Amino acid sequence: MPYLIHLAILIGIYAILGLSLNLVVGYTGLLSVAQAAFYGVGAYVTALLMVDAGYNFFVAMLAGIILTGIVALLLGMVLSRFRGDYYALASLGFGIIIYSIFLNWQNLTGGPLGIPGIPRPMIELGFMRYELSSNLSFLVMVIVLVIVIYLLSRFIVRSSFGRVLKAIREDESAIQVFGYRTIYYKLSVFVMGAMMAAVAGSLYAAYITYIDPSTFTVSESIFIIAIIILGGLASLRGSIFGAVFLVLLPEFLRFVGFPDEVAAQMRQAVYGLLLVLLMLYRPEGLVGEYKL
């Protein structure tokens, strides 16, 4: 049971990351490879404020969301100059820069040693204090936040704002003819997606109680992209299905019964083969409406 709760928490965290990136990639058509960087900024800000300044988790998470939004705003203003593949490459470069900061700014981030001893969230209501020390109580909080992010994302995509995002994805030049300043729409959704990713980073830091730069590499961004591609681009349900699929698949492969000497390599091979087959025969993902 504890193991299942652990997997459910990871699924919730990656579902939030998938929802955040799907707004940018699936609904707007902007291929960003920087989501792990925003995930990391949220995690580090939360961890530093809790460990070094003694802030409550929810205050630290809010600070992480705001600071991540500011960083995303500055980056988005730069990325707005690029389109297509150049947009992806520029966001990739940003992800590498943020990872380098996490790794080398040792006085602040702890460098490769990371930040240990991050406390669990504490709910304070007057004189009552309740620490989410058990994984089950933490899972309840994660589920609540997943629901909030999902409902917020659904509101965005079903609004007139969301319809403009889809129009930008299909033909940005055409929507500009009608007087829409598409740069503001792209910048807005980019910032919103980054702030949602910061929520996932805060949850990860508080759950694992330790973070280091290896969690927030470019490969993590690619993993998040794989979640939304497999689950379905321009589908909020697909973001959740993709998180469930990619978190549980390696666990299922553990029970296939490969010889111990090659078990790890065979699991990776089967994992990669399944992804390739899915991309060949279902490129829009499990429940997607759009393909890159």
Percentage, residues of the chain above pLDDT 90: 66
Instruction: Give this prediction's pTM.
Output: 0.94
User: Which residue in 23, 1, 53, 54 sits closest to 195, CA to CA?
Assistant: 23
For the segment 191-235, what is each residue's pLDDT rounded down to a tens digit?
999 999 999 999 999 999 999 999 999 989 988 998 998 888 899
For the segment 34-47, what is each residue's pLDDT rounded down to a tens digit?
999 999 999 999 99
For the segment 76-111, what is each residue's pLDDT rounded down to a tens digit?
999 888 887 889 999 999 999 999 999 999 999 999
CA dihedral 264, 267, 269, 272 (to 10 degrees): -130
Rounded Cα–Cα distance for residues 39 and 68 (Å): 9
